[in-house]
Amino acid sequence: MKIRQVISIIASKLTIFLLHLLKRGGTTLPGKVAFKLYPDILKSIASNFEIIMVTGTNGKTTTTRIVEEILKNNNVDYITNKSGANLLSGITTLFIQAVSISGKPKHKVALIESDEAAFNQVTKHLTPKAVIVTNFFRDQLDRYGELYSTLNAVKSGLERIGDNTALILNADDSMCASLGIATAKPVIYYGINQQAYQATSENMNSDAMFCIQCKNKYEYSNRIYGHLGGFYCTNCGYKRPDAHLECIEIQEAGSSYSTIKCKCSSTLLQENNEFVTRINLPGLYNIYNAMAAAACGLALGYKVETISNALQSFESGFGRMESINVMDKTIKLILVKNPTGFNQVLSFLALENQSLNTAFLINDNLADGTDISWLWDVDFEQLNNVSDKIDGLITSGVRGEDMAVRLKYSGLDTSKIRIIKDYHMLIEEGLKKTPPGGCFYILPTYTAMLDIRSILKKKFNLKEFWK
Amino acid sequence: MFDLNICHLYPDLLNTYGDRGNILALQKRAQWHGINTTVQNVTIGDNFDASDYDIIFLGGGQDYEQEIIQKDVLEQKNTEIKNAIENMKVFLCICGGYQLMGKYYKTWDGKEIEFLGALDLWTVGGKERMIGNIVFESNFIMENGNPLKIVGFENHSGRTYLGENIRPLGKVLFGNGNNGTDGYEGAVYKNVYCSYSHGSLLPKNPMLTDHLLTLALKQKYTDFDALGKLDDTFENEARNTVIQRILK
């Protein structure tokens, strides 16, 4: 037994214990302590787990929660990181919690959400059995640098791990799909078929318009949103790969769920390779999250029925469309952090058939991204299509004033826009305006979500997130 | 009735940090002032005749996209842009678009990339990016008798230096500006306005937007006098919040 390892685990577990005594949900510090004492700690204790990793720009948390539900449906004993502890130290803390002092694992599987910029670092220590990559969009450029550096970081992280790792990749994302080129690893692609969805307008502010291979402009046979869709390059021939798992029909797109028909290639499922299922969250982006998780489940050999059950029963992750019932009204909390994600949330809001009361909480702390320029890349103009339904728009957070300016320039009626910096007052105002049976939407950036969530927790008894 | 034609150059390539907000600001404020606008997108391979437009906008891009436009801008649009500048056409160039107007970009390991050379300025790459909020004051525009305080957000590794005929857009009060050393931000030459400020620059600094609209209208209409006043409550609150936060 390695004595440094034991000391490192004990010190780290002690830190976790102390933080809990202080009623703080610390996930970073224990990991840091462990590394300080024994740099190989994670590599050493994680090697006894079967690891599934999820990375990419948007949808990591939700995809991870769906995979979790698949594991539950298969009675698999697992650990997983919650509450956005998806950097190296948070992941280390999770593993420390999951082993005995001698380093023996208490569980079989580890389901790990990894920040895309940290992925390269994390894979120095972990060798996953499967990696899901959701997508690449511009996000927090002040922190990540350029979009292509994020892609390259994930790419070199993947190159570091052996050829036995299955890659679960988004076929509709030219950047994500490119990770499947020139690799010896088994690759499973998932996507939305062009028969299932065709966007009506081309998004001007697409993130990857030029070929990743030869820099020629892509043509598209269909567009889903952002740069996702049936891309092909007329110059070098790089094109959307055929997907092993596809959504071939969206039968129902409601404001709380979607019903879809899927088709599977024979590599994933031999008999009855079509199935209909319901996804327990609305919106196109959740169809992608569901496809990603389902493709991973099929690749790992789980049965279609258990996967379908999981899609119908999973609950969204921390701050991702969480619902709080307050008397006869609902507060819905939806995290926003980059243009594409925000656009998807707005198109979802447009489905709401009642009057729309929405609060936008914009912070510019490190974890949110210190640059709020991205608000100008969000298509708030689409709210003009539902302007008759908009009752009140509240802006708040450190950058609430900037958000008000953004809404004003989108052409919405300024008399409906109010800046309310106090969160207690904001909740009160929002609820007051919401009709019985109606919904008050709160759209915060990450740190604003932590703040408003802790207020909502006190007010309405929400679960503590780190439990 | 006055109208203005706005050209967004390379909108699909130079649009990294919400630069589209500048186009929106020009369009919206013109509309609120009762002026008609059209916005034309012009990109790689498109024919570009500067005389069709009153205001030309270039935003910032990532290295990958900047490389793609290099050939098109140097070979296809070079002369048109240079002539337009000398003919007092109004330009707004942000970050990558700003650097592109200069003579060259020298990477930190010594490689020199030729740029348009429309303005006497040049950029040298640095290893560290200069990222963060920026406030600078510009005496091109006066506010209650004082130089206008402009706020934005910068994110660049290039250090830009100005030649003799180019004046800086303003003096840095907080942040790095052109090169982090000489205390200046942006550049002005004739009616070309350049800045490293994203944020977006124009929506939050409405007096600068109106200044550019005025320049363009004066170029186009001899009978144009001045723009009226608009309600800028939100804009001023956003600008003042940042100023108070970082200059306190």
Low-confidence ranges of chain B (pLDDT < 70): none
> In this complex, which of B20, B65, B204 lies closest to A405 when CB atoms are compared?
B204
Q: Is B245 helix (H, G, I), strand (E, B) or coil?
A: helix
Interatomic CA distance for residues A430 and A455, integer angstroms: 14
Is residue A167 within 8 Å of A89, Cβ to Cβ? no
pLDDT given for residue A2 in this prediction: 82
Could you give the ipTM of this predicted complex? Answer: 0.96
May I ask the CATH architecture of the domain A48-313?
3-Layer(aba) Sandwich (3.40)
Question: What count of other Cβ atoms lies within 10 Å of the Cβ of residue B140?
Answer: 16
Interface contacts A/B by beta carbons within 8 Å? 94
Numbered residues of chain B with Cβ closer than 8 Å to any chain A Cβ = 11-13, 15-21, 24-25, 28, 41, 44, 62-65, 67-68, 129, 131-133, 153, 155, 198-200, 203-204, 234-235, 237-238, 241
Angle among Cα B96, B98, B99 to the nearest 5 degrees reads 65
Rounded to a whole number of angstroms, the CA Rg of chain B reads 17
Asked if B238 and A370 come within 8 Å (Cβ–Cβ), the reply is no
Q: For an interface test with B, give the residue of A402, A410, A417, A419 to mutate (most B CBs within 10 A).
A: A402
pLDDT given for residue A462 in this prediction: 64
**Percent helix, strand and coil across chain A, each to the nearest 5:** 35, 20, 40
Q: Where are the domains of chain A?
A: 48-313, 320-460
Q: Which helix (H) or strand (E) holds B91?
A: strand B90-94
Interatomic CA distance for residues A277 and A311, integer angstroms: 7
Topology classification of domain B3-247: Rossmann fold (3.40.50)
Question: What count of other Cβ atoms lies within 10 Å of the Cβ of residue A112?
Answer: 25
Interatomic CA distance for residues A91 and A122, integer angstroms: 8
B95 flagged as catalytic? yes
pTM for this predicted structure: 0.86
Is residue A263 within 8 Å of A158, Cβ to Cβ? no
- List CB contacts (< 8 A) between B19 and chain A: 373, 376
Asked if A374 and B234 come within 8 Å (Cβ–Cβ), the reply is no
Question: What count of other Cβ atoms lies within 10 Å of the Cβ of residue B87?
Answer: 12
Give CATH for domain A320-460: 3.90.190.20
Interatomic CA distance for residues A380 and A390, integer angstroms: 13
- List CB contacts (< 8 A) between B64 and chain A: 146, 148, 210, 215
> Is there a binding annotation on residue A176?
no
CA distances from B234 to A170, A401, A408, B203 (A): 41, 6, 8, 10
B194 flagged as catalytic? no
Q: Which helix (H) or strand (E) holds A119?
A: helix A119-122
**Minimal C-alpha gap between A360 and chain B (Å):** 15
Q: What is the pLDDT along chain A (467 residues), one digit of tens a residue?
A: 588 999 999 999 999 889 888 877 677 889 999 999 999 999 999 999 999 999 999 999 999 999 999 999 999 999 999 766 889 999 999 999 999 999 899 899 999 999 998 999 999 999 999 999 999 998 877 777 778 889 999 999 999 998 999 999 999 999 999 999 999 999 999 999 999 988 876 665 678 889 999 989 999 999 999 899 999 999 999 999 999 999 999 999 877 889 999 999 988 876 778 999 999 988 899 999 999 999 999 999 999 999 999 999 988 777 778 888 888 999 999 999 888 889 989 988 888 888 899 999 999 998 898 999 999 999 999 999 999 999 999 999 999 999 999 999 999 999 999 999 999 999 999 999 999 999 999 999 999 999 999 999 888 876 554 33
Judged on CB neighbours under 10 Å (0-12, 13-18, 19+), A452 is buried
Q: Which helix (H) or strand (E) holds B136?
A: strand B121-143
Query: Residues B151, B157, B158, B159: is their CA dihedral positive or negative?
Result: positive
> In this complex, which of A148, A370, A402 lies closest to B204 when CB atoms are compared?
A402
Q: pLDDT tens-digit profile of A43-79?
A: 999 999 999 999 999 999 999 999 999 999 999 999 9
**Percent helix, strand and coil across chain B, each to the nearest 5:** 30, 35, 35
Question: What count of other Cβ atoms lies within 10 Å of the Cβ of residue A371?
Answer: 22
Q: What is the DSSP string of A277-343?
A: EEESS-SHHHHHHHHHHHHHHHHTT--HHHHHHHHHH----TTEEEEEEETTEEEEEE---SHHHHH
Q: Dig out the tokens for B120 from the structure.
A: 């006497």
- List CB contacts (< 8 A) between B234 and chain A: 401, 404-405, 408, 414, 417, 419
Q: Spot the catalytic one: B7, B8, B93, B95.
A: B95
pLDDT given for residue A355 in this prediction: 87
Of the candidates A410, A411, A413, A426, the one whose C-alpha atom is nearest the C-alpha of residue A459 is A426
Q: Using DSSP bridges, classify how beta strands A258-264 and A274-279 pair: parallel, antiparallel or unpaired.
A: antiparallel
Q: pLDDT tens-digit profile of A165-208?
A: 999 999 999 999 999 999 999 999 999 999 998 887 666 567 88
Interatomic CA distance for residues B168 and A400, integer angstroms: 31
Q: Dig out the tokens for A193 from the structure.
A: 């078929």
